[in-house]
Structure formats: structure tokens, C-alpha cells
Chains A and B, each alone.
Chain A
Amino acid sequence: MSNDDVALLLNAIGILAFERDPEGSFRPLAAPPPWFGALGRDGTFPFLGHILEEAIAFWTARTDGVRSWGPCAEVDADGKEFHYLVKAVTVGPRSYLLFQADESVEQLRAVLQTVRSDALKRPPG
């Protein structure tokens, strides 16, 4: 699979991936998927700022694996809420930062909505 194929695939499944070089700079592996444009519209990105310190510690440890943060909710230009995850990945000598749209949240929310709504209706005791 070529790099172009990988880029197309990542975009199609809603993932924006960056490779982190040893100096700490990030290089995008593909064009950002459409949902990513809703993030940081005001020039700030507090969720990334929050996790970056932990992510850097994870990459610096150089242990293969994935560390995940989120879901974090944002609102797109149409006012629709969506969720995403941020992941740090270490594979051998390479480090990656991924932003992934998290559509599974709606299933989780449906379950939590049901159990919590039931709990709210229950008389105290």
C-alpha cells in the first residue's frame, strides 16, 4: 500500500494522523478529514493542550503501544455535536499523534441515557 493509499484510507475513516519527529515537530500523514475543521476554530485547542504533556511522556518512554484520551465533545459549524478521541502511538522508533472521530459515543450515550433517565425517575431511597 502506498503512502497515498494510506492517506486516502485515513481520511475515509475519519482519522487525522501526524508523525512526530525526534525534535517534537508533527508532520501530517494525510489531509485532514472534514470534521477536523471544527476544532480550534478560535485558535485555541484546550483538549490537546491538556493531553500533550502526558502524550510526550508516553512517546519518550519508547514503549510500543497506544494511549488514548477522550471522548471530547465539540460542535460543528452546523451546531451539531460530535466526539473525537486523541491517541498517541509508538511503533518501534516512530511516534504518531492521531485524532479520530468517535461515532461509537452515540451507542454509549444511548445506553447511559436510558440507565440514567431511569435512575432520575426512581424515587429516592
Chain B
Amino acid sequence: MIQKKICLLGGSGVGKTSLVSQFVHSIFSDRYLTTVGVKIDKKSIDLDAEQLDLVIWDIYGHDDFQKLRVSYLRGASGYLLVADGTRAATLETALEVHHLAYEAIGDVPFVLVLNKADLRDDWQIPQAAIDDLVGRGWRVMVTSAKTGEMVEAAFESLGRSMLTPARKNEP
């Protein structure tokens, strides 16, 4: 059994708490309830015959009203960087947060999650921006916390990255 701390980072309203709720409790609520401070959840997953115990830190959204306190990242082995596919500005926020995280904890695995795939008709993040990040070696996944689409896969992808040797993810 291996235990790892992971964090969910990104702007406000992108669905970080909903992703955790869907992943840990298989629950989704349409009601937006902003996160204050941090919430810590736990879930064990089996990856290739290895049990990985995730300690999941859901950290309040980084925006004009509250900035990320990077001390919360200490000890994290990886993070999900979350953006809202229907709001292009949240990708910029995710990139900003990625810089902060890189400065705080260095080159740890992460997955960029573009959430709200159930609203694909309203999608605003240009494919070219995604292609550019993928070209730089970023792992990008499209999820829906509402339907559960790719949510488990995103956490598992991060889990696998944490169990394999480090690779360069410089901002």
C-alpha cells in the first residue's frame, strides 16, 4: 500500500469540489457551493495490482478574491489542474496556478483536467491551446463531474504518473 497526497488546483467554479465528490462519493450536485479553505478526502484505488491511497486536498479556487496559499501544497506528490472548458479564462488561471505550484513543490506529476464536458456546445477553450500544451508534454483530459465521464480516469492517470519515475513538466 502506498499513500500519496494530491491536490486539486484551479480557478473558482471550475468544478474541483464536484470532481472530488464524483470520484469519492459518486455524487454530483448542480448547486454551486464555493469552497472556503481546504477539504481533505481519501480514496483508495487499485493500479496494476498496487493499492494507492490518495489523500485528496481540495483547495479553494484561485481568483481575484482569494489567492492560492502554496503552503497547502507541501508534501503533495501530484495535482489535478482544473479548468472549465466553457470559460477560456480558467485555462489562463490554471496556467498561473501551475507556475505557482511548480515554484512551490517543483516538478511533480500533474494532469490538466478540462471539466464540464457535458456542456460541449458551450466549449470555449480553443483546440489549438490544448494541442500546444499536449505538444509540451502535458497530459490533458476532458471530464464531466456531472456525468462522471473520465473522472476516475483522470485520478488514475495522475496516480500512475506518481508511481512512475519523474518526467519534466516545466511551465
Contact = CB atoms under 8 A, between A and B. Distances in A.
Interface in B56-74: 57, 61, 63, 65-66, 71-72, 74
Given A112-B36, A119-B13, A124 B65 contact: no
B74 A50 contact: yes
Contacts of B87: 124
Given A46-B5, A124-B88, A116 B36 contact: no
A115 interface: yes
Contact of A109 (B36, B55, B71): B36
A12 B90 CA distance: 43
Nearest to B56: A46
Nearest to A45: B40
Task: Report whether over half of chain B's contact residues are helix, strand or loop; otherwise say mixed.
Answer: loop
Nearest to B124: A124
- Bin the interface of chain A by size: 20 to 34
Contacts of A120: 13, 32
B37 interface: yes
B37 A83 contact: yes
Interface of B: 5, 12-13, 32-40, 42, 55, 57, 61, 63, 65-66, 71-72, 74-75, 87-89, 124
18 contacts: A46-B5, A47-B38, A54-B71, A70-B37, A71-B37, A73-B36, A73-B38, A108-B36, A109-B33, A112-B36, A112-B66, A116-B32, A116-B34, A120-B32, A124-B87, A124-B88, A124-B89, A124-B124
